Structure 1
Amino acid sequence: MDRNARNSGAGAVREAHRFDAAALDAWMAANVADYRGPLSIEQFRGGQSNPTYRLATPARFYVLRRKPPGQLLAGAHAVDREYRVITALGAQGFPVPRTYGLCVDEAVIGTPFYVMEMVEGRIFWDTTFADVPRADRPAYFDAMNETLARLHMIDPAAAGLADYGKPGNYFARQIARWSKQYREDVAAGPVAAMDRLVDWLPAHVPADEPQPRVIHGDYRCDNMIFHPGEPRVLAVLDWELSTLGHPLADFTYHLMMYRMPPGITTGLAGADLEALNIPSEADYVAAYCRRTGREGIPDLDFYLAFNLFRLAGIVHGIKGRLARGNASSAHAASMVAMLEPLAELAWTQAKRAGAR
């Protein structure tokens, strides 16, 4: 089954993620303007971290994102942060869903949650944009590029997000964070390539540290909703990993699509980009640099090694949640199968950046 079939649509709420629908209905009636039941609930198939639900009423659809139940790592699944950043960026005109309300009272459905609008459009789970006519693909890539550049040009202070991240070197903090999370998640177990990266990365952090910007943290084609018939991003989704940080970390995470093969999430490595009519990696980098006023991206290989390590850390966390019984996606096991190949790919990229 391909990623589109595995992740598209919604169905019955999984047993581990069920909650009291009547309690949610009462909260919605008290806190969401113009809400009218009755309410029916389905769970989206996609997503690996925070369970996400489609709420249907006679008048409209909503989306609910919640912290998963069960034992969790400290600081993870902070849906209140997601709610804050989406609300703030929406006020700046950035394409995100409209937010309706945040609930931190665990007595309602068992964990904190928030409700936002359901944006109607297309989600592409395949980075080749196979469902788009060949002639239109450059415009879709350009839309992704422009939207991320637009995010990185927003002044965090003007958006009310000046305190959304910690001060200091972003890469050093992130490497420390993901290394700590990797080491502490004993349920997931060790991975040899991850151990090598944990040792090498901290000693090779570039000195460049620009003014921090809001960064998404997981910017890829399947975390966007595109217009049903136009190459235009209507909403960027899944802000769980967002913070203030180095914008090039965010861009090069997105750029990993060019370095990853199709078997690891979805990637373009080995694809005939000219035949597909997809911009080259160099052209894609140049377009982002032009939009953000950069002459180029020194230390590109380090940034990519870091991001591949970080992605492996995310998958390692999925493995831990699967072992603890609170993985959000029904397809978590297939993601976990990619952990060691992904970690090895991260180490290979580190060697391109000078690791021995």
Structure 2
Amino acid sequence: MISRQEQFSGEEAPPAHLLLDLDRLAAYLAPRLPGMGRDLSATKFKGGQSNPTYRLAGPAGSFVLRRKPPGQLVASAHRIDREYHILSALAKTDIPAPRPYLYCADTDVIGSEFYIVEHVAGRIFWEADMAGCAPQERAAIYEDMNDILARLHAIDPGAVGLGDLARADGYAARNLMRWSSLYRQAELTPIADMDWLMEMLPRHLPKTEEICFIHGDYGLYNLIIAPNEPRISAVLDWEMATLGNPLIDLAHHLRAWWDLPDAGLAATSLVGADLPSLGIPAMDDYVARYCRRRGIAVPDMSWYLAYAQFRYAAMVQGILKRAADGTASSRVMVHSQDRVVRIAAMARQSLEQLLARDGADTVRSPRI
């Protein structure tokens, strides 16, 4: 069976609904990106399910174009302009991210908004166990990944022009409401556990929360690793970045440790793996390292993990809805409706364990 690494690595010809008008694009870029010329070629990166991303090659070298998908989209999603603003702000920090060059709001050029950034050469690992790497290399990359997340959460948003990115309070409640709404918009079939989670998670919100700049989908699959050394060269996919709760960001980042193993291409899971022999830290150790770097006490992650699992189920449901509507970025659909059901059950179990431990009210709708 083909692996995630084989399926999602590299580039491909864009499918028909994502083809670029290269002549029109070249004419637009010529006066704005010096040296691009009119002899352009474009291939689409195979990975990713949200915003289509291409490598442009021309006389001036290689660049990356990231666009909003065509077609009817979920409200507030695919904010290409916002992502470009974030990349521009990150250029003032020590967080490795692609250098931004231009943003285009004119949908007549290629059919949707887009932006251009530098092309960063390197490796992307779609499997959390990083097959083919030595334990020492895995250990170094996981350590760098942990360090960058801690540094990202330490950014002063106001100092880099991101202070108005979102409200600076009430993130958990607002994000939960948003993803509940997005799930409802994408719902294809009723799932009792998702209904229960949307009822119970708001009842047990964190009593206090820190607010800082967060990535939203920080993971190995969104990192470019230097070609010949165990170092992160760029963090990708800033679509979901905002001002929010760093522990929610951390819980989502921990997905490789808690995600359900999948016989197909959907999951990049470390569940059941021999982590010491791989050179990969256990989840609790990884969390402790992050906390040491940030100078904070190790928290109880239970609610955050339950919420991250619920939100991930909602994200997968959104991918399935885009596929049903014909607007998915990737031509390969790796998820299934049953996967949403199983992730929701896992999230419910996580929250039920927390509530049982705390002796909290667990009155809820029954499973069906």
* Structure 1 segments unaligned to the other structure (5+ residues): none
Among all aligned residue pairs of Structure 1 and Structure 2, give the percentage whose two residues are the same amino acid: 45
How far the C-alpha of 1:172 sits from its partner, in A, is 0.4
Equivalent residue number for residue 22 of structure 1: 23
CA contact (8 A) 1:9 1:44 kept: yes
Query: Which one is further off, 259-268 or 300-309?
Result: 259-268
Could you tell me whether the CA contact under 8 Å between 2:183 and 2:317 is conserved in 1? yes
- 2:36 pairs with 1:35: yes
Answer whether contact 1:96 1:235 (CA < 8 A) is retained.
Answer: yes
In structure 2, the residue matched to 1:295 is: 297
> Take 2:89 and 2:54, find their aligned partners in 1: how far apart are those partners?
22
Deviation of 1:252 after TM superposition, in Å, equals 1.5
The two structures have a TM-score, normalised by structure 2, of 0.92
CA-CA distance at 1:335 after TM superposition: 5.7
Find the aligned partners of 2:237 and 2:338 in 1 and give their Cα distance.
23
Check whether the contact 2:252–2:308 (CA below 8 A) recurs between aligned residues: yes
C-alpha offsets along residues 100-147 of structure 1, whole Å, 9 cap, x if unaligned?
Answer: 100011111111000111100110111112221123221111010001
AA aligned opposite 2:257: Y
Corresponding residue of 1:269 = 271
Q: Matched residue of 1:206: which SS? A: coil
Change in 2 beyond 3 A, CA 1:336/1:28: farther
Residue 316 (structure 2) pairs with residue 315 (structure 1)? yes
Distance 1:335 1:124, change over 3 A: farther
Task: For 1:122, give the aligned amino acid.
Answer: R
Q: CA RMSD in A?
A: 1.5
Question: Secondary structure of the equivalent of 1:158?
Answer: helix
Residue type at the aligned position of 1:57 = G
For 2:31, what is the secondary structure of its paired residue?
A: helix
Is the contact made by 1:224 and 1:235 (CA closer than 8 Å) also made in structure 2?
yes
More displaced 10-residue stretch of structure 1: 329-338 or 73-82: 329-338
Give 1:25 deviation, angstroms. 0.7
Unpaired stretches in structure 2, ≥5 consecutive residues: 357-361, 363-368
SS state at 1:56 partner: strand
Instruction: Please say if 1:230 is aligned against 2:256.
Output: no
Residue 339 of structure 1 deviates from its aligned partner by 2.0
Q: Which residue of 1 aligns with 2:359?
A: none
What does 1:146-185 align with in structure 2 at a 5 Å threshold?
Answer: 146-185=147-186
TM-score by length of structure 1 reads: 0.95
User: What residue in structure 2 maps to residue 216 of structure 1?
Assistant: 215
- Per-residue Cα deviation, 1:4-43 (whole angstroms, up to 9, x for no partner): 1111111111111123111111111122233234100111
CA contact (8 A) 2:193 2:344 kept: yes
**SS of residue matched to 2:55:** strand
1:136 aligns with 2:133: no
Partner in structure 1 of residue 6 of structure 2: 5
Alpha-carbon separation, structure 2, partners of 1:352 and 1:191: 20
Contact 1:305–1:353 (8 Å) recurs in 2: no
User: Alignment length, in residue pairs?
Assistant: 353
Where 2:115 maps in the other structure, the secondary structure is strand
The match for 1:353 is 354
In structure 2, the CA distance between the partners of 1:165 and 1:335, relative to structure 1 (3 Å rule), is farther
Provide the rounded CA distance (Å) in 2 between the counterparts of 1:262 and 1:130: 16
Deviates more, 1:38-47 or 1:342-351: 342-351
